[in-house]
Amino acid sequence: MTLTVLERDRTHTGRPRLAPAVAEARLTAGVRDDMLPATWDDHVRVYGEPHTWSRAAQVMTLLQSHGVLGRGGAGFPLAIKMDAVVKAKGRPVVVVNASEGEPAIWKDRTLISLVPHLVLDGAQLAALAVGADHIHVAVNPTYRPAHLALLRAITERQSRTRDAVPVTVHVVPDEFTAGECSSVVGLINGSRGRPQFVSTIAAVRGVDNRPTLLSNTETFAQLAILTRMGDRYADVGTETEPGTALFTIRGAVPEDVVVEAPLGTPLGALINEVGGLTEPIQAVLVGGYHGRWLPVDVAWNAPLSVTEMRARGGAVGAGLIAPLPANACPLSEVSRVVGYLASQTAGQCGPCVNGLPTIAQGLAALAHGAAGEDMLDRIAEWSGLVVGRGVCKHPDGTVGFVASALEVFAEHAQRHLYGPCGLPWRKLLPIDGTCLTTPLYDVA
């Protein structure tokens, strides 16, 4: 394991910079130098005409040949999901989930802001491939540049192309659970947009009780790249997980960035590609706030693929990589994030109404060194009462985050039973949207 540590000052902002792609730029090849949204002419100049009708016939064959996984966090094979939609009863619809309510992750907002036509191309291809007659895009409007870029791109396409399938944009609440599948489907169906008890997957019965192909923004952009590249798509990535992915990197690095890299790139190598570490680290959070903490010796050389991360007890998830400085209290970061997650529940089931706030309060007491000697046992007991009992997977994801933290930082947690550790509270992981409305474009 090689750690590259750079001596430099850095300042975190809410909006990560887009870093140059590692190896070959695909999703980000069409990004303009001035960081303004790519127009239709920009898009065609880089990616060529979509030829959507002819390429749609290739979609299922290419997906099955290369086993492309969705990029929303679950790592589910896209071909299987699309096949389920095609085989279900009724005329399908397509939903682009661009809600991205987690404040630490910025990949979908980056794509919508900078290359919106690539995402819309992918949605059109998917709609034609499954026989859908409508595309819905669920977008979080709090980051205005992304929302505006999407609306402008749709308007531009109406005058410049002959898109086969109409598109409707829906505004989702700025909440962590608003991007959950049943929340998005419910919002499009006219409800508040909160997780719902469902007995059937959206692929079978979703929007308007019709088969629904719902995936995140990057997945549709990847579909557009796949159909343009054909078998060359698998030139990068791993044998079972081809292609690139977008990652958000923040923490003990020179600046917060979003970067495109081949799947299978070692985590440490990717960090070094974007500037290396600014200080020694004690662990790495991988996957997001429903991801997992990993020890440095496990994480650093781990290939960033779904299979390899799962083998190490981690998850690629939504693509967050956050190396935690050694000179930072880990329990302070964990308790802040869990407090945020507890505040982001829909408030409609016991695990969220009672369980997560109780766990958050216990972690806060532990972080302040004000907990009783049995607090770790109590947190484990409360966590066991939460798992598998929620309307959605938010309680389970939160408990997984907590469990990995208490395992990786076990020695530190023991010290906190008897008082504060003395390490600074750095507040490196964002827990609100205070920077979401800052302009994306800093053009001199």
Please report, in tens digits, the pLDDT of each residue of the chain (444 residues total): 444 444 333 444 468 999 999 999 999 999 999 999 999 999 999 999 887 777 888 898 999 888 888 887 777 889 999 999 999 999 999 999 999 989 999 999 999 999 999 999 999 999 999 999 999 999 988 889 999 999 999 999 998 877 889 999 999 988 888 888 989 999 999 988 788 877 789 999 999 999 999 999 999 999 999 999 999 999 999 999 999 999 999 999 999 999 999 999 999 999 999 999 999 999 999 999 999 999 999 999 999 999 999 999 998 989 999 999 999 999 999 999 999 999 988 777 888 888 999 999 999 999 999 998 999 999 999 999 988 877 788 889 999 999 999 999 999 999 999 999 999 999 999 987 433 322 222 222
Question: Where are the strands (E) in 319-377, listed by range?
Answer: 320-325
pLDDT value at residue 101? 85
What tokens appear for 5 in the block?
Answer: 């540590």
Instruction: Find out whether 230 and 244 touch, Cβ atoms under 8 Å.
Output: no
CB count within 10 Å of CB 361 equals 17
CA dist 163 and 117 (Å) reads 11
pLDDT value at residue 162? 75
Contacts with 391 (C-beta within 8 Å, 6 or more apart), sequence order: 182, 195, 196, 197, 346, 348, 349, 352
CB count within 10 Å of CB 2 equals 9
pLDDT value at residue 306? 93
Q: Which CATH superfamily is domain 24-235 in?
A: NADH-ubiquinone oxidoreductase 51kDa subunit (3.40.50.11540)
Residue 239: which H helix or E strand, with range? none
Q: What is the pLDDT of residues 235-290, one digit of tens each?
A: 999 999 999 999 999 999 999 999 999 999 999 999 999 999 999 999 999 999 99
CA dist 383 and 381 (Å) reads 5
CA dist 275 and 80 (Å) reads 38
Q: Which residues pair with 405 in a beta bridge?
A: none
Instruction: Find out whether 292 and 267 touch, Cβ atoms under 8 Å.
Output: no
CA dist 360 and 377 (Å) reads 14
Q: If we measure between CA atoms, which residue out of 88, 86, 96, 92 comes closest to residue 116?
A: 96
Instruction: Find out whether 106 and 257 touch, Cβ atoms under 8 Å.
Output: no
| CATH class label, 244-325 | alpha beta
Task: Reduce the secondary structure of 104-135 to three states and give it as a string.
Answer: CCCHHHHHHHHCHHHHHHHHHHHHHHHCCCCE
Instruction: Find out whether 294 and 284 touch, Cβ atoms under 8 Å.
Output: yes
CA dist 181 and 291 (Å) reads 18
Strand 281-286 with 320-325, pairing: antiparallel
End-to-end alpha carbon distance in the chain: 41
**53-92 b/e with 16+ CB inside 10 Å = b?**
eebbeebbebbebbebbbbbbbbeebbebbbbbbebeeeb
Q: If we measure between CA atoms, which residue out of 77, 65, 85, 185 comes closest to residue 128?
A: 85
Instruction: Find out whether 346 and 300 touch, Cβ atoms under 8 Å.
Output: no
The ranges assigned to domains in the chain are 24-235, 244-325, 330-416
pLDDT value at residue 14? 63
- Long-range contacts made by residues 41-50, C-beta under 8 angstroms, separation at least 24? 43/115, 43/117, 43/118, 43/121, 47/118, 47/121, 47/224, 47/228, 48/228, 50/121, 50/124, 50/125, 50/161, 50/224
CA dist 108 and 219 (Å) reads 10
**Rg of the chain, C-alpha, whole Å:** 21
Which amino acid, 170? Answer: H
pLDDT value at residue 290? 95
> How many helices and strands in the chain, by DSSP H and E?
18, 10
Q: Which residue carries 């390899």 as its tokens?
A: 308
SS3 16: coil
Contacts with 255 (C-beta within 8 Å, 6 or more apart), sequence order: 10, 11, 12, 13, 16, 17, 275
Q: What is the pLDDT of residues 309-342, one digit of tens each?
A: 999 999 898 999 999 999 999 999 999 999 999 9
CA dist 38 and 390 (Å) reads 41
What fold does the segment set 330-416 form as a domain? de novo design (two linked rop proteins) (1.20.1440)
